[in-house]
Every structure is written in C-alpha cells, then in structure tokens.
Amino acid sequence: MNYYSLHHKSPKSTFKNAVVEGLAKDRGIYFPDNIQQLSKDFIENISDYTNHEIAYEVIKQFVGDEIPAEKLKEIVANTVSFDFPLVKVDDNIAALELFHGPTMAFKDVGAKFMAQCLEYFNKDNDDEVTVLVATSGDTGGAVANGFLGAKGVNVVILYPSGKVSDIQEKQLTTLGQNITALEVDGVFDDCQEMVKTAFLDEEITKTLTSANSINVARWLPQMFYFFFAYKELHKKHKDLIFSVPSGNFGNICAGIMAQKLGLPIKHFVASTNVNDTVPNYLVDGVYKPKPSKATISNAMDVGNPSNFIRIQELFNNDLDALKCAFSSYSFSDDETRATMKEIYANSGYVADPHGAVGYLGLKKHGLKENEFGVFLETAHPVKFLDVVEGTLPVKVEIPAQIKKVINNKKVAYKASTYQDLKDFLLKK
Ligand SMILES: *Cc1c(COP(=O)(O)O)cnc(C)c1O
C-alpha cells in the first residue's frame, strides 16, 4: 500500500517508509492512497470471526505485502491481547471500554502495533532507530510499554515535570531497558517543540522517528475496536452512533476509516472539552487553531488537532458532507463533573472524565427511537484518580497493571533546553 503526504509535496511512500519516517519530508502527514471496502459478506457474518481474524482482515490492505501474512497475524494477535467490553449505562447507551490493556488507555493498541512493525522493519539494519515522543500523560506509558524490549529500537520520552499524574509518571519512568525518560522543566508544548527541533536538526544523524498518533501504524489499528463493538451490537441494534472523546482526533478518524471500509455506523460525534477548535469549525467553517487550555480531561487538551486534516480528506474537504456524518460538541469541566455524578447515580458506573465527555456528546446529539449510542471509555478511572475520587463517592481499586509499577523506582534525566536533549541524543 502506498501513502501520500497531505501537503502533496513529497513523493508517495511505502507503508514501511511511512512508519519509519512518521512525517513526510514536506512535513505533511501520510494518508493511504487507496481504500478498499471490505466484502459485504464479511461485515454481515462478522459474528463468525474472532477478534484476531477481524483485526487482520481490517489492517491487511494497509500493510500490503510489506509484512508477510503470518508475521502480520502474529503482530495483530499481540496487539489485540485483551478484552474490549461494552458496558450498558442506559437503555440506549453503552460504554466501550478500551482500557483493559497494559497501561489502561486505548493508546496501548496503536503503540503495541507500531512497535512491532518498527521492530520488524529494522530487523536487518545494524543501526538502531530512535523513537522520540513527547507526552502529556497517556502516550508515554503506552509507548514505553509497547516498545519495551523491541530490538534495534531506542525510545526517548519527554514529559513535562510535575504535569503528569503520579501513576502516569511511574508508567513511563520505571521500565528501563531500551526506554529512557527525560523530565522536562516546562509544559507539554515545550516537550513537543524540543522533539520538532530535533527532527529538523541536521547534526543529529541517527534515524529518528515519532510515535505520536500521526504515525500511520499508531492510527490505523484503532479501527479494530469499532468492528469489535459492531460485532457485539449489530444483531440487536441497527443504527449505531459513536461518540469519541477527542483531542488530536486520531481515534475518531480511525472510526470514520472503519465506516469507509463498509462498517455500518450511522453517525459520529466528536466530543471535546473546552478546547473547541473543531466544534467551532463546524459552526462557522473557519478553522482557527489556538493554544490549548488545561482541563480535567487533560489527554484532550489540544488546540490544533493534528489528525483533523485526515478527517477532511476522508470527506474530500466537503464541509457539508462532513456535517451530515459528523457532529462535534464542546463541554466544560463543570458539565463533565456533573455528568460523572449523573452516570454514577443512574447506573453505578464510574466514568473517567474523558468517558464522561463522550457520554455528554451522545446526550447533546440526542438518540432517536431506533438508535443506540456507544461512547468510548478511553482510559481507566484510576488514571485520573484525583478527579474521580474528588467527584464521586468512591474509592477506586488499584488494578494489577498499576500495582506492578507504582512502587518501582523512577529513573529520569532532567532536561530544560533543546541543547540538553541534543547532548543526550549525541552521546547515546
Ligand atoms: C489520547 C487520549 C484521548 C484523545 O484521543 P485522540 O485520538 O488524540 O483524539 C482521549 N482520552 C484519553 C484517555 C486519551 O489518553
């Protein structure tokens, strides 16, 4: 499968090259050249397939012959190695829980898939590749875990000192081996800026790549769980509406790709916190990125969502067509807290702040008689312990995955300027 840059100024790329490069040379993000619908037969009989078989069917056209079928099946099986349960919270609404993986956020899926692809592509290369990633919280842990032990791959994670939760910090600073954490004296944007500068620095001759959601190998496997949910629901409910708590808009863009492959999804709702660039765009047709604002659903504090351009491409840049299939609404922290309480009072379900924003999106959109709403529960409530225990009368039990890291010793190098990162990369 070939990929083109959405800036249209670089030549087409193979899957391998798109994974290894991350971004095209013209700084555009990659998009698949050709999208084939899956057979009607497969969609209609989806209940006959295991999750591993479904994931393989969904991803294979995007990899083509660049990874042998048997190897790709193995990669998919390692990626989809946990459950994706649907939990009903209302008569016509269910949470799709994406947090049963090793770091308890949906990012485990993309990180594990990408790590294995990169390891495969680099297996005959004597030079190591360095994955540089800036995190505001969940990405760091998922990437650290997904890439742990990957041969020929070094991972450097930059995170803002004091701005990630204790659990998130432990998840990204305690694994060792090929994973190094840099604790940056600054905010997330500073980390991101340092990563961007490194990519443009000609004195760094190592192969650098990015593991942010712009990488096609992190983005595309996120289609899998839309199919899994459909498999569970399609016999009872015809018209499915998905609400996706959105920050960089990679997850919802994967859902729209699933629809493009033929998955019958009636409508998408992109639910955001007060970082409302996309909801505003749908209202007035003007795309105005702005600096991000801090909220209690902090994994979605993004002012210029990097995957939105892919969504526009999927609708041929036709705003009216986009509006028919896609809505986007923004919610405040007060509304989010009130909704966490409402969901808990009605059903006893403990939603994390991101999931609550997703639920709010379904309520705002409204569900007609024959419609069924699914909101993505993107992280386990334990990852936002202060907010959850401060809002609901509950004590969140610490799951085994978290217990495993919580008492490990943090190891992180300090960095305050780009030169610190550069020195670190040059001596490694
Ligand atoms: C990353 C993240 C999001 C946002 O996902 P995007 O693909 O960037 O839109 C939402 N919720 C949680 C918990 C996350 O970690």
Ligand 1 near 254 CB (within 6 A): no
**Which amino acid belongs to residue 428?**
K
Question: How many residues would you count in the chain?
Answer: 428
Number of other residues whose CB lies within 10 A of the CB of residue 89: 21
Query: Could you please report the per-residue DSSP string of 140-175?
Result: HHHHHHHHTT-TTEEEEEEEETTSS-HHHHHHHHS-
Tokens, residue 86: 């649907």
Q: pTM to 2 decimals?
A: 0.95
b/e map of 43-58 (b: 16 or more CB within 10 Å)? Answer: beebeeeebbebbbbb
Ligand 1 near 246 CB (within 6 A): yes
Is residue 71 annotated as part of the catalytic site, yes or no? Answer: no
Q: What is the pLDDT of residue 7?
A: 95
Measured between alpha carbons, how far is 395 from 31 in angstroms, rounded to an integer?
A: 44
Domain range 76-105+219-396, CATH class: alpha beta
- 299 Cα–ligand 1 center, Å: 5
Ligand 1 near 104 CB (within 6 A): no
Q: Do 154 and 428 form a contact (C-beta atoms < 8 A)?
A: yes
**In sequence order, what are the beta bridge partners of 2?**
14
Atom of ligand 1 nearest to the CA of 249: 9
Atom of ligand 1 nearest to the CA of 250: 7
- 252 Cα–ligand 1 center, Å: 10
- 214, 216, 378, best to mutate for ligand 1 pocket (most atoms within 8 Å of CB): 378
Q: Which of 16, 107, 170, 383 is catalytic?
A: 107
CA dihedral over 124, 150, 106, 292, signed as positive or negative: negative
26: helix, strand or coil: coil
- 178 Cα–ligand 1 center, Å: 25
- 204 Cα–ligand 1 center, Å: 31
Measured between alpha carbons, how far is 15 from 33 in angstroms, rounded to an integer?
A: 11
Apex CA 115: angle with CA 294 and CA 211, to 5°?
A: 35
371-377: strand order across its sheet? 86-90, 93-97, 371-377, 239-245, 267-272, 326-330
Measured between alpha carbons, how far is 375 from 406 in angstroms, rounded to an integer?
A: 29
Ligand 1 near 354 CB (within 6 A): yes
CA dihedral over 417, 419, 422, 424, signed as positive or negative: negative
Q: What is the pLDDT of residue 100?
A: 96
The set of residues, in sequence order, having a beta carbon less than 8 Å from that of 266 and lying 6+ positions away, is 239, 240, 241, 371
- 273 Cα–ligand 1 center, Å: 11
Tokens, residue 94: 């269910």
Residue among 141, 144, 171 nearest 155 (CA): 144
Measured between alpha carbons, how far is 218 from 350 in angstroms, rounded to an integer?
A: 28
Ligand 1 near 295 CB (within 6 A): no
Mean pLDDT by 10 residues, the chain (428 residues): 95 95 89 96 97 98 98 98 97 97 95 95 89 89 94 93 89 94 90 88 85 91 98 92 96 98 98 97 94 90 92 96 97 98 98 98 96 97 94 95 91 95 89
Q: What is the pLDDT of residue 42?
A: 97
Ligand 1 near 339 CB (within 6 A): no
Tokens, residue 12: 């087409």
Query: Domain residue spans in the chain?
Result: 76-105+219-396
Ligand 1 near 299 CB (within 6 A): yes
**In sequence order, what are the beta bridge partners of 272?**
330
Nearest CA, atom 1, ligand 1: 299
413: helix, strand or coil: strand
Ligand 1 near 110 CB (within 6 A): no
In terms of DSSP H, where are the helices of 261-332? 277-284, 308-314, 319-325
- 245 Cα–ligand 1 center, Å: 7
